[in-house]
């Protein structure tokens, strides 16, 4: 017989400890330990003989790894070519970012080709989910919705229906009767995922789980489940922009280099086939403070406009505001500008924005950030046919970036004719035939000379 006991569990990573701790020793987060009641597993019973038997490895063939296409190219791409039968996939993201919208259309497309799909909604009523499906064109003959939060009931329905796929929206709304802890608690979320895992493996049905990233920490977050599931995808974006990226964090059946790009429209999520064009669509007339750069998202090059606004501080401390990039990185780049270019920014407010809601995570965008700031400070526009790529070092040197050929090709295909690149990347670029004017620079001064004459 299983016994109950009290333990302290980390809401972020699930670490357990017999006593309360201010900081979780496993994930180093503060104030994440909560007290919960858990079951202590009963000793191994006399079930020996039942269950799975060992199988010979050589009896498996390639056809055992058949992937099922979801019908949504960007989603398949992220998974590594489609869904593997019996896999458990976690889709995490901030509330309101579009997880339900995404999985509703994945479910609808999937049901077209493979039959019944069960969409379990613990957050919204069946009617609400139905309305959303109507709005986003996800109404299909074999789409079923179940508004239920009791996992025992859900699994009973799923066993009866034998769907081709099941979606759980969201894991934090489920509870498993008999397991201690409130809905959304660490033990409930973990136990529910464990049951879903077993269902997926035993019935060979792919199960997609939505998990909200939680800021206030009142419920357990999806990070807790990352090691339990086969695949972890995060859906990201800035709320005020339509641009969304689906990024793989873990994938037992493929690489984690491909990401999917979508646009959140009124009628639902739309796949973005040419993200650079999409991101540059609203570019205005040539004005000071705007420079384009080429970033790599997953394995794809993307052109991004960096905008900067520099204006004299009216009172108090100068402000440094960055949207779409790290504020610390911006501060560092401004210090390099001051020290190496003699640009006095100490009494200036600086705002920098990566347009379109894309998050810059690569130092390859440094040069464009620095040039945009300098352009605004001097009120001198940078040519709209110019693009800048390069990492800025502390001494003002421009350092090599990876995958430069891909970046330059993308820039050329969108009509940029003059491209500033790190000197160190010139050799590999010379081997290619790309019809653009390449300007290799060794340091900031040379880049400024070219871009802001």
Ligand X SMILES: Nc1ncnc2c1ncn2[C@@H]1O[C@H](COP(=O)(O)OP(=O)(O)O)[C@@H](O)[C@H]1O
Subset of 88-107 contacting Mg ion (CB under 5 A): 100
| Total residues interacting with Mg ion, rule: CB under 5 A | 1
| Binding positions for ligand X, rule: CB under 6 A | 93, 95-101, 135, 266
Distance CA 286, CA 89 (A): 45
- As measured in angstroms, the least distance from the Cβ of 23 to Zn ion is 9
Distance CA 178, CA 251 (A): 32
Interaction between residue 220 and Zn ion (CB under 5 A): no
The binder of 15, among Zn ion, ligand X, Mg ion, none, by C-beta within 5 to 8 A per type, is Zn ion
| Beta carbons of 276 and 300 less than 8 angstroms apart | no
| Beta carbons of 215 and 223 less than 8 angstroms apart | no
- As measured in angstroms, the least distance from the Cβ of 224 to Zn ion is 9
Choice between 64 and 216, CB closer to ligand X = 216
| Total residues interacting with Zn ion, rule: CB under 5 A | 7
What are the tokens at 285? 């007339």
210 three-state secondary structure: strand
Binding mask 27-66 for Zn ion (x = CB under 5 A): x---------------------------------------
- Which of 364, 28, 72 is CA-nearest to residue 235? 72
Choice between 100 and 288, CB closer to Mg ion = 100
Residues paired with 19 in a beta bridge: none
Q: Which stretch binds Zn ion (CB under 5 A): 18-26, 65-73, 105-113, 327-335?
A: 18-26
- As measured in angstroms, the least distance from the Cβ of 235 to ligand X is 7
Choice between 100 and 231, CB closer to ligand X = 100
Neighbours of 358 (CB within 10 A): 25
Choice between 95 and 415, CB closer to ligand X = 95
Q: Which residue has the tokens 């493979």?
A: 114
Q: In degrees, to the nearest 5, what angle opens at C-alpha 290 toward C-alphas 287 and 295?
A: 155
Distance CA 396, CA 406 (A): 25
At 245, give phi and psi (nearest 5°): -120, 130
Interaction between residue 17 and Zn ion (CB under 5 A): no
The binder of 12, among Zn ion, Mg ion, ligand X, none, by C-beta within 5 to 8 A per type, is Zn ion
- Give contact residues for Zn ion (rule: CB under 5 A): 10, 12-13, 15, 24, 26-27
């Amino acid at each position: 017989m299983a016994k109950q006991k009290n333990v302290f569990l980390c809401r972020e990573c699930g670490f357990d400890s017999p006593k309360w701790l201010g900081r979780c020793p496993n994930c180093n987060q503060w104030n994440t330990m909560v007290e919960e009641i858990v079951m202590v597993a009963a000793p191994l019973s006399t079930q020996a003989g039942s269950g799975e038997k060992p199988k010979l490895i050589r009896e498996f063939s390639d056809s055992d790894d058949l992937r099922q296409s979801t019908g949504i190219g960007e989603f398949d791409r992220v998974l590594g070519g489609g869904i593997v039968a019996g896999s458990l996939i976690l889709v995490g993201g901030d509330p309101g970012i579009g997880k339900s919208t995404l999985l509703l259309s994945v479910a609808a497309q999937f049901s077209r080709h493979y039959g019944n799909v069960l969409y379990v909604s613990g957050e919204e009523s069946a009617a609400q989910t139905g309305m959303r499906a109507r709005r986003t064109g996800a109404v299909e003959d074999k789409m079923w919705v179940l508004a239920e939060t009791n996992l025992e009931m859900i699994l009973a329905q799923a066993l009866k229906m034998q769907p081709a796929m099941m979606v759980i929206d969201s894991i934090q709304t489920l509870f498993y009767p008999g397991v201690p802890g409130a809905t959304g608690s660490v033990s409930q979320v973990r136990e529910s995922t464990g049951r879903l895992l077993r269902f997926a493996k035993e019935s060979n049905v792919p199960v997609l789980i939505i998990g909200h990233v939680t800021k206030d920490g009142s419920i357990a977050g999806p990070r807790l489940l990352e090691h339990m599931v086969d695949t972890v995808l995060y859906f990201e974006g800035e709320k005020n922009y339509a641009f969304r990226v689906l990024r793989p964090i873990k994938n037992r059946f493929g690489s984690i280099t491909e990401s999917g790009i979508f646009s959140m429209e009124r009628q639902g999520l739309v796949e973005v086939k040419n993200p650079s064009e999409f991101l540059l669509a609203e570019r205005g007339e040539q004005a000071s403070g705007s420079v384009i750069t080429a970033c790599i998202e997953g394995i794809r090059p993307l052109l991004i406009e960096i905008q900067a606004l520099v204006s004299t501080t009216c009172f108090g401390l100068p402000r440094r505001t960055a949207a779409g990039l790290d504020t610390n990185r911006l501060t560092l780049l401004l210090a390099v500008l001051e020290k190496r270019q003699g640009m006095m920014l100490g009494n200036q407010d600086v705002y920098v924005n990566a347009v379109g809601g894309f998050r810059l995570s690569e130092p390859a965008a440094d040069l464009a950030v620095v040039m945009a700031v300098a352009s605004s400070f001097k009120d001198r526009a940078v040519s709209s046919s110019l693009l800048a790529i390069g990492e800025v070092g502390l001494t003002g040197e421009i350092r090599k970036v990876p995958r430069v050929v891909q970046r330059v090709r993308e820039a050329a295909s969108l009509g940029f004719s003059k491209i500033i690149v790190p000197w160190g990347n010139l050799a590999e670029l010379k081997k290619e035939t790309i019809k653009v004017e390449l300007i290799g620079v060794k340091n900031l001064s040379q880049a400024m000379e070219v871009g802001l004459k």
